[in-house]
Structure 1
Amino acid sequence: MNTATITPATGRSASEEAALPPVRWLPSLSVAGVLAALLLAVSGRHGYHLDELYTRAASRHLDWGQIDQPPLVSLVARIETALFGDGLTAFRLVPALLIGVTVVLAGLIAREVGGNQRAQLLATVAAAASGLALHTGHILGTNNFDVLVWVAVCWLALRLARTQDHRLWLVIGVVVGFGLHAKYLLGLLLLSIAVGMLVSGPRRALFSPYLFAGAGIALVIASPVLVWQATHGWPQFEMADALSTALSELSRISFLPMQILMIGLFLSPVWIAGLVALLRRGEWRPYRFIAIAYLFMVVLLLVIGGQAAYAAALQFVLLSVGCVVVAGWARTTVRRVLTGVAIAANLLTSAVLMLPVLPIQTYADNVLLQQLAIVQFDQAGWPELTAQAAAVYRSLPAEDQARAVFYGNHYGQAGALDKYGPAYGLPPAYSGHNSYADFGRPADDKTVVITIGVDRAQFSRLFAECRPAGKFDLSLPVSDLGQEFMVCRRPREPWSQIWPKLRWIGFQCPYTAQAVTATSKEGCV
């Protein structure tokens, strides 16, 4: 007689549940701890990323939303600064911790598809050595929470497919609801998973009442940020349109290289092996929807001109699955050595590209690194920009200094002056870019404006006098290199009337200081 008991919630026997390989908690947590320590060790090098300068300023103007992102990251920045001080390492503590949790989830994903303890450890180590983990764990931004939420949703969806416990939709609803407080892109993952389940199953899960209950939970939790968007005219759609305008052609051209770069050259065979195995292995048919979801997302991103990085979290999941394949393949000493060399090589190359492990001038002097490690230059030059802006300010007569403010064309410039300007005794900095425009505008008695990188023709129409005051000069190939300083005097209208004309929603091209809005005719060049 079969004495195995059946659990009513899952439809699976208790012995079947117990047959899953045990979790290797200590090794997985150790890998996560080492990764977090590495990230924190280099967190203070180079400088703030331009998006972090924006987030730092936004943390002092909290609301239920921003034009270009939900409020969670700014709230975290506010808490970090309050607890640990206004420093770069403190600012990047949460990203290091969150990516540590994410790599632990990589091991759990490997276990969910049947990976033994060796496969789980391999998945954790490979995840920690990926370019996605190093980049996401280094810079505070929406991706910190987004990647964690995407991976968590995929893990829960895989578990749901294995156990047939549809109550997991409720848990997924909670995760999604909180995830929408960090980034709206999560909807793309949900759509892709739905398509994957429709194509390959488990289709019954899509018609479960728990799914609709989970969706209701997600909407309730996310309602504050959704209401903010609705009451502000859904600016996220305008922002998405601007991103598409700016990057569609570039995204399609660079799509395949970015798919390799986000995980890393030497680990790409592993995540590809996971993709192929999900499509071919009969025993993995219940999990095939993950592979379909990834393929659907790739096609969708190519059609709409979306960034290849949007699919990176699904690649991360495929990497975990691929480690189960590799663990079964690496049964000889030679194959184990090859696997170890691939992980070490991926860690080294990804660290050089994604982390500030080399002097910034080394990146500038190497032609290849200049092209591949652009993120390094987005973390450089901000103190120098502020110093040169301060020199322009000090060149003004005392009466002009008393009536002066700064205006940065994009939020990185204004955020840099907000961070480094007090050391020079500089007046406030403003910008009309995205939600920085909501952080305040100059008072009407401020009739002298030192601008950075603005359209001279536009400001000449708004002010009686605008004179050039030099250009930003630096030995590094930062995107703002050569941007013009101007001193504009005597506004033709009060600031309350000027400010709406300066507001713009859009995207700063990563290679130049070119600003792109939804109405732009050209994208990034």
Structure 2
Amino acid sequence: MLSINIFNLPLIIAGLIFYFRSSAGKAYRALGWAFIVLYLLFTITNAKPYFLAPAYPFLLSGGAVICEQAWRKWLKRTYVIALSLSGLLFAPMALPMLPPATFEHTYSVLTAAGNGGAGQHSGGIFPQYLGDRFGWEEMAQTLARATQQLPAGQRAQACIYASNYGEASALTFYRATYHLPPVISGHNNYYLWGPGQCSGTVLITIGEAPSFLQQEWSSVKTVDTYRCHYCIAAEDQLPVTICTQPKFSGSLSHIWSRLKFFG
């Protein structure tokens, strides 16, 4: 809320005053405590910033009551005008309103230092919640080209290992369109779903460092690099590798626990 529009701050502070200092807010004080508890919990656990977003209406509504009852008429009008104009100014930071090139030219300065705190730090042109709208089909096309490089025998044994759930879900979505092998990942719920029928004999990976893969496979060849100009930095310049000759015995399930990544 604050990172997208700093003019929300007076209303948020007023909301805390409403719940903890005003008689009118006493009956609803549990909402104020709910916000504080959630804020502390998410801060301590290093949760994603947007987890707290549904709790902000508690403060905005309480702050609006204070604004209506206690602020002078001229201050209320001035604040509403400032909030409205700044909302229009910062709306493209929250919604896909502009062509990508226009956004890059006019707003990328606000995202260059990790999107100014608006959502997760992206280090790219767009905040993550906008940057993650780009490049998924192109990623699937890149993996399809890598798959086609394999001999037919290896192609039949191949699986794709994605470095995170976003990549894995996107590649699964486009799997039928581009005739991709099964897609797996060690990230979050994908880890719980396991490697399925993937033996690990032939593994195509995206976004994994070759030095890490060389710990488990004797042959690790980088065959392509996925590029996405408008994606967040973590989804640009990703190595695409083909791993063969596994060092582990048995199937991929034997090393699955070492591929776990929750976050």
Whether these two folds match at TM > 0.5 is yes
Contiguous gaps of at least 5 residues in structure 1: 1-130, 132-259, 508-525
Secondary structure at 1:506's aligned position in 2? coil
Deviation at 1:496, TM superposition (A): 4.8
Following superposition of structure 1 onto structure 2, how do residues 27-426 of structure 1 map, counting pairs within 5 Å?
131=1, 260-261=2-3, 264-292=5-33, 294-295=35-36, 298=39, 305=46, 309-329=50-70, 332=73, 334=74, 337-365=77-105, 366-370=108-112, 371-372=115-116, 373-426=127-180
Residue identity (%) = 26
**Secondary structure at 2:235's aligned position in 1?**
coil
Q: 1:380 is paired with a residue of what secondary structure? A: coil
**Letter in structure 2 aligned against 1:384:** E
Letter matched to residue 147 of structure 2: Y
Q: Who is 1:121 aligned against?
A: none
> Which of 238, 241, 244 is the matching residue for 1:486?
241
1:504 partnered with 2:260: yes
Aligned partner of 1:480: which letter?
A: E
How far apart, CA to CA, are the structure 1 residues paired with 2:255 and 2:191?
A: 8
- 1:442–1:495 Cα contact (<8 Å) kept: no
1:431 Cα deviation after fit: 1.0
Structure 2 residue matching 1:486: 3-state secondary structure: strand
Aligned partner of 1:495 in structure 2 is 251
SS of 2:97's equivalent in the other structure is coil
Per the alignment, residue 470 of structure 1 pairs with 224
Query: Which one has the bigger helix percentage?
Result: 1
**Corresponding residue SS for 1:471:** strand
Output one character per residue of 1:64-89: Cα deviation in whole Å (capped at 9) or x when no partner: xxxxxxxxxxxxxxxxxxxxxxxxxx
1:418 Cα deviation after fit: 0.6
Q: Is the 1:405–1:442 Cα contact (8 Å) retained in structure 2?
A: no
Rounded Cα–Cα distance in structure 2 between residues aligned with 1:499 and 1:436? 15
Q: Deviations over 1:178-207 (max 9, x none)?
A: xxxxxxxxxxxxxxxxxxxxxxxxxxxxxx
The offset of 1:354, in angstroms, is 1.8
Q: Secondary structure of the equivalent of 2:150?
A: coil
TM-superposed deviation, 1:339: 4.5
Question: Cα offset for 1:433?
Answer: 1.6
Between Structure 1 and Structure 2, which shows a larger proportion of strand residues?
A: 2
Deviation at 1:485, TM superposition (A): 0.9
Flag the 1:496–1:294 CA change in 2: closer, same or farther, 3 A: closer
In structure 1, how many angstroms separate the alpha carbons of the residues matched to 2:190 and 2:199? 21
Q: Which residue in 2 is equivalent to 1:161? A: none
* Distance of aligned partners of 1:391 and 1:328 in 2 relative to their CA distance in 1, 3 Å threshold: same
Per-residue deviation, 1:500: 2.3
Amino acid in the other structure paired with 1:276: I
How has the CA–CA distance of structure 1 residues 434 and 465 changed in structure 2, closer, same or farther, with 3 Å as cutoff? same
TM-score by length of 2: 0.77
How many angstroms does 1:388 deviate by?
Answer: 1.4
- The Cα offsets for residues 107-151 of structure 1, whole Å up to 9 and x where unpaired, read as xxxxxxxxxxxxxxxxxxxxxxxx5xxxxxxxxxxxxxxxxxxxx
Q: Which has the higher contact order (CA 8 A, sep 6+)?
A: 1
Q: Displacement of 1:427 after TM fit?
A: 1.5
